[in-house]
Structure 1
Amino acid sequence: MQKEFVVISAHVGDFVWRCGGAIALHVAAGYKATIVCLSYGERGESARLYEEPGMTAEKARARRRAEAEAAADVLGATIVFLDGSDYMLRVNDEMLHKTAAVLRETQPEFILTHPAADPSNLDHVTTFNFALEARMVAQAHGHPGGAVIGAPQVYSFEPHQSELCLFKPDTLLDITSVWEVKRKAMECLAGQKALWDYYERVGLQRGAVSRRRQKGKATGPIYGEAFQSVFPARVDLL
């Protein structure tokens, strides 16, 4: 049976910047990836689009959706839109139960989402809590739907300003082999072009940190991504 995982993203760009490498890497290894995108970021994360004459929130929403679909296609993932609005992101029971249904359908090995704290973007905090609620609903026998899920690990991906978010990564992923795929996905996001090079620098920095954490003296990763696990991991040996 094919293994699957789910990404729960506040805005259309988040899943690309923060974990596009993880998505591409696991898809290349045979996993199926499903991205649940709560909003299009047409208000707070599309400033460049509003430089165009006649731009409206509705036009920006359509543009950002197309960008997200293109990026997901590059990464090899399926994307589900919940059609929320950003800044401020408000979730509802329909969105929650739709996401719980995705979790039951996919039976994910793990879930990727935002960290618990982000004072510079409360939409991300809302999404973290939403992801845990959806996981909880998907575990509950009393709700209708498919088979309940187990207890998949939840990994918070690296926020834009880690120092503000109490982000302490405990997992470093080597994404060197899929970096060009991630870069191509980033370049689908024309509405946030200013972030392309920024997140390349983040990838290089995490690659450098990863090299210091490996055994031996091999060359090691060039590009990396960082994650913080939410739950303890069950192991047989250290």
Structure 2
Amino acid sequence: MSKPTALVISAHSADFVWRAGGAIALHAAAGFEVTVVCLSYGERGESAKLWRQPGMTLERVKTERQKEAEAAAKVLGVHDLQFWDLGDYPITLNQQSLFRMVDVMRAIHPKFILTHSKEDLYNWDHPAVTDFAQHARITAQAHGHNPGQKVLGAPPVFLFEPHQPEQCNWKPDVLLDIGPVWAQKRAAIECMAGQEHLWEYYTRVAQQRGAQAARNSDKSITWGEGYASVFPHVVERLV
């Protein structure tokens, strides 16, 4: 029997760590095969520490970013990590890359998809990627696209937290307890040496979401991640 799958569509090579590392580790531990697609290395806009080094080049930045992401993915238990190198600031998303993503979706038939928020005033690559991801999902459901392939069903899509949620009209309606894998997520965060200034920030985010999760449940939760769902939840009972 094949294992359940999940798909994380990350604009840059560090986004999946900060924003979805807990969800990845939790589901990997539960037997999911998690595919992470990094559309860009974040080589221009998210690599300031590397660019301050004398003699730095674009290819060296990409190489270092890939090494960091690979180390983090190993810690989290990612099954398949892909780097598409589609540019950064701005990211270039065209029909060829869209159909490539459709192929990924149809190949693995994910049980759920994680990607970016619909708005992000501070990084326009992020909303471009969520539009791209949802366009790919719709195309993957279309019987007229590559007839003969098994079409995608209706996997739920969850949008992970932008860096400044209050400015991006992002409101979580799913709070995930990541306490069992917090040590893994923190270790993965520390793999991202090029953005060390974000380590403590995303630790505080996890604590805040954990406190909110505890407040909205009868559980003792310390560490959490927040997500905004795109589609209605279809359930057999409410609790």
- TM-score normalised by L of structure 2: 0.96
Structure 2 SS opposite 1:84: coil
Verify the 8 A CA contact 1:155 1:228 in the aligned structure 2: yes
Give the structure 1 partner of residue 172 of structure 2: 169
Report how far residue 237 of structure 1 moved: 2.1
Give the structure 2 partner of residue 41 of structure 1: 42
The counterpart of 1:196, out of the listed 193, 196, 199, is 199
Structure 1 SS opposite 2:84: strand
The counterpart of 2:135, out of the listed 133, 136, 140, is 133
What letter is aligned with 1:49?
A: L
Q: Calculate the aligned-residue CA RMSD, in Å.
A: 1.1
Matching of residue 61 in structure 1 with residue 58 in structure 2: no
Give the structure 2 partner of residue 112 of structure 1: 114
The counterpart of 1:151, out of the listed 146, 149, 154, is 154
Report how far residue 76 of structure 1 moved: 1.0
Structure 1 SS opposite 2:125: helix
The range that moved more, 144-153 or 166-175, is 144-153
- The 5 A counterparts of 1:65-84 are 65-77=66-78, 78-84=80-86
The gaps in structure 1 that reach 5 residues or longer are none
Give the structure 2 partner of residue 212 of structure 1: 215
Report how far residue 18 of structure 1 moved: 0.3
Verify the 8 A CA contact 1:105 1:146 in the aligned structure 2: no
Q: Counterparts of 1:86 and 1:165 in 2: how far apart (Å)?
A: 20
Report how far residue 146 of structure 1 moved: 3.4
Report how far residue 106 of structure 1 moved: 0.9
Verify the 8 A CA contact 1:37 1:79 in the aligned structure 2: yes
Verify the 8 A CA contact 1:113 1:155 in the aligned structure 2: yes
What letter is aligned with 1:222?
A: T
Q: Counterparts of 1:235 and 1:222 in 2: how far apart (Å)?
A: 27
Structure 1 SS opposite 2:183: helix
Matching of residue 94 in structure 1 with residue 96 in structure 2: yes
**Matched positions, count:** 235
1:171-230 Cα shifts (integer Å, max 9, x gaps): 000001101111111111111011111101110111111110113xx5x11100000000
What letter is aligned with 1:50?
A: W
Q: Counterparts of 2:210 and 2:165 in 1: how far apart (Å)?
A: 16
Q: Counterparts of 1:136 and 1:82 in 2: how far apart (Å)?
A: 21
Report how far residue 159 of structure 1 moved: 0.7
What letter is aligned with 1:156?
A: L
Give the structure 2 partner of residue 182 of structure 1: 185
What letter is aligned with 1:125?
A: P
Matching of residue 20 in structure 1 with residue 28 in structure 2: no
Q: Counterparts of 2:86 and 2:189 in 1: how far apart (Å)?
A: 22
